[in-house]
Amino acid sequence: MIKSVFFSLGIFLSLGISTLWAQQNAPRSGYQFKEIADLKATPVKNQANSGTCWCYATLSFLESELLRMGKPAYDLSEMYTVRNAYFEKGMRYFRLYGKNNLNEGGQAHDVVEMIAKYGIVPEEVYPGLEYGVDQNNHSEMVSGLIGYMSGITKARNITTAWPKALMSIIESYLGKAPEKFTFQGQEYTPQTFAQELGIRPEDYIELTSYEAYPFYEQVELEIPDNWMHARYYNVPLDDLIAIMQNALKNGYTIAWDGDVSEQGFSHAKGLAILPTNEPQNMSGSDRARFEKLPEAEKNNLYSFVAPVPEMQVNDQNRQKTFDKRKTTDDHLMHLTGLLQDQNGTYYYKTKNSWGTERNPFGGYLYMSEPYVKMKTVAILLHKDAIPQNIKEKLKLN
């Protein structure tokens, strides 16, 4: 069933299903959106009861990359990558004496790094459901991993058996990794399949934007889910937004990492906004519109029925919310388009991984640019999506 549904995707893409979605399911009647970019994406999935948004978002991004490259639609296995990441996390947890993150969260670079080391397989080859369920639920497995590795880390006489035992716990839940498999009549290993896809890990980079770090340099983003201690290019906020807009306008989608804990984030309503009723924090045009609103509307900015005044965001207040932990890396999603509302505010069309039934918009939402400015923690994208003047500042080839 998965295969037949998935390989009919090319027909839907040729009909522009994402454009039809935007026309038929535009959020809230008071919003009027003009489409600027609407890029190809594979169907929305459901991460279910697992903290694996980092893998769902990034593989969705890479599936769109393959479409951009003119390749067929692929359904890649999230759980194969998750399997390998859990093992690598456990190894690092041991080597750092239990002082590293071994929970479910992760970052976009985890996926790229795991593909580089372990390859990748199609979903039908490795669904990762070997524990009597039909949807992901990793709480029991992760509790077991943490308990086991905590004990090993504290042991005095450590044997050579524990890495195999660590993997056996993971594979008891997710399944053994295939050494070889047949897909569409051809035999592959995970490595040769990755090679055939043509995903080059060196083409993808991560960026962040915090003034606490030097700009235009690579920095270690100090967040718990960066368990690999990876380094990100740090750019000013204006450059980050310029990169994102340039990417989407030129056919490149984006893996997005950010905060979804705000009252203004409503997956059910298909919107993420950053309202404010403080005129000093608004743009001039928002301030003028705000003054004309009835008092009842001024005090009800989370109705999601029409555009409302939103906060102006800059490097300073963005850093402040990060330092106060009002912005944390809660969730990763996939940006696939760009729009403008009737007031000229940009919105980023966002593919979530919470299934298609939890909102009326097929699992998508629109995030306003003020929300994106304040709540983006990091992005991953193809380096060719970065404007040339910024690439030069970053010393990228």
Q: Which residues are catalytic?
A: 53, 331, 352
- What are the two backbone dihedrals, phi and then psi, of residue 271, each rounded to the nearest 5 degrees? -140, 150
Q: Which structure tokens are listed for 206?
A: 């991560």
Of 249, 275, 253, the C-alpha closest to 364 is 253
CA 265, CA 261: separation in Å to the nearest integer? Answer: 7
Of 110, 350, 114, the C-alpha closest to 206 is 110
CA 227, CA 99: separation in Å to the nearest integer? Answer: 10
Q: How many CB atoms lie within 10 A of CB 5?
A: 10
Helix (H) or strand (E) holding 376: strand 376-382
Q: How many CB atoms lie within 10 A of CB 107?
A: 27
CA 330, CA 378: separation in Å to the nearest integer? Answer: 11
Assign 366 to helix, strand or coil. Answer: strand
Q: Which structure tokens are listed for 63?
A: 């599936």
CA 329, CA 120: separation in Å to the nearest integer? Answer: 25
Q: Are 105 and 51 in contact (CB under 8 A)?
A: yes
Q: Are 36 and 338 in contact (CB under 8 A)?
A: yes
Handedness of CA 67, 69, 189, 114 (dihedral sign): negative
Residue tagged 């009835």 (tokens): 294
